[in-house]
């Protein structure tokens, strides 16, 4: 069947493949200082956030992404006290972090304040963690912001967009070095590192660059399935300033926290770090 463009939102990736959802209503459209922001109401994916024509967040599958960028790092960090999220203006990653009672401070650094304010309006559940008293929101360039810190954070999560527009600076070597410097000893930084299927060069180059900064044994990719992202198979890379065995978390997450999750568990943690052969070849 053909798609009626008036009823479908379609993200085309490099004019080679596309993902589309039928929508019943466009809820919001605006051009911020940095990007085009759109929200749609859809029958299948719930509310959808698009930035510059690309799927960023859907109510249907956002829990997978936000749990998988957050809790593998949390499981590897005994009693974290301070966390920084760079990007992630939808608030979903912060909403996962506030589940850690040991965290005393959580900073969200999002360059586009309009993303934060509109997500509070259209994604109240996803962004609910932003109202936690431990959370501070700063609307600044994350690459510049993190440079001012040394040995400051137990957890840093790079919840970035693709390496274009305002997200490009979050894929540069200087930024990776700044993140490493901002980590406390024993801390963990997790980067979203794109699709090994459709963005193989970006994925492999990013992992290579992270390993050159953190060390080969201190930058470990892992995978998850995000249905609304190109190729569905998505990657993250966990980095630290000292070697960590991803298959043997240093701290167990509480039973109470695990029961609150919809995707992540101990078995998922282990399985995520088992890479298919083609992914091994991309980063070898």
Residue with tokens 């039973």, as numbered in its chain: 255
**Catalytic residue (choose from 159, 205, 245, 262):** 159
Would you call 61 a catalytic residue per the annotation?
no
CA distance 154 to 83: 6
Task: Give the contacts of 201 (CB within 8 A, at least 6 positions apart).
Answer: none
Residue with tokens 């957890």, as numbered in its chain: 155
Burial state string for 100-137 with b = 16 or more CB within 10 A and e = fewer than 16: beebeebbbbbbbbbbbbbbbebbeebbebbeeebbeb
The end-to-end CA distance of the chain, in Å, is 42
Longest alpha-carbon distance in the chain: 56
Q: Residue 276 has which token pair?
A: 């298919």
Length of the chain: 284
CA distance 266 to 213: 28
Q: Which residues are catalytic?
A: 159
């Amino acid at each position: 069947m053909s798609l009626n463009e008036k009823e479908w939102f379609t993200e085309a990736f490099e004019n080679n493949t596309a993902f589309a959802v039928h929508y019943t209503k466009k809820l919001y459209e605006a051009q911020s200082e940095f990007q085009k922001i759109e929200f749609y109401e859809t029958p299948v994916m719930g509310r959808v956030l698009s930035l510059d024509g690309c799927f960023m967040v859907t109510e249907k599958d956002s829990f997978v992404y936000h749990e998988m960028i957050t809790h593998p790092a949390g499981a590897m960090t005994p009693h974290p006290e301070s966390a920084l999220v760079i990007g992630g203006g939808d608030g979903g990653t912060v909403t996962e972090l506030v589940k850690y009672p040991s965290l005393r401070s959580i900073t969200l650094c999002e360059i586009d304040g309009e993303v934060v304010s509109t997500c509070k309006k259209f994604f109240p559940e996803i962004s609910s963690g932003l109202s936690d008293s431990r959370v501070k929101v700063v609307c600044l360039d994350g690459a510049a912001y993190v440079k001012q810190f040394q040995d400051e954070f137990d957890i840093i999560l790079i919840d970035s967009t693709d390496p274009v527009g305002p997200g490009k600076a979050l894929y540069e070597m200087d930024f990776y070095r700044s993140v490493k410097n901002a980590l406390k000893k024993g801390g963990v930084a997790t980067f979203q590192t794109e699709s090994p299927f459709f963005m193989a060069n970006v994925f492999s180059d990013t992992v290579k660059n992270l390993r050159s900064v953190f060390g080969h044994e201190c930058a470990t990719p892992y995978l998850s399935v995000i249905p609304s992202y190109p190729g569905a198979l998505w990657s993250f890379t966990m980095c630290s300033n000292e070697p960590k065995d991803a298959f043997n978390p240093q701290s167990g997450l509480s039973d109470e926290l695990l029961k609150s999750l919809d995707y992540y568990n101990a078995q998922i943690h282990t399985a995520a770090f088992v890479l298919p052969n083609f992914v091994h070849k991309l980063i070898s």
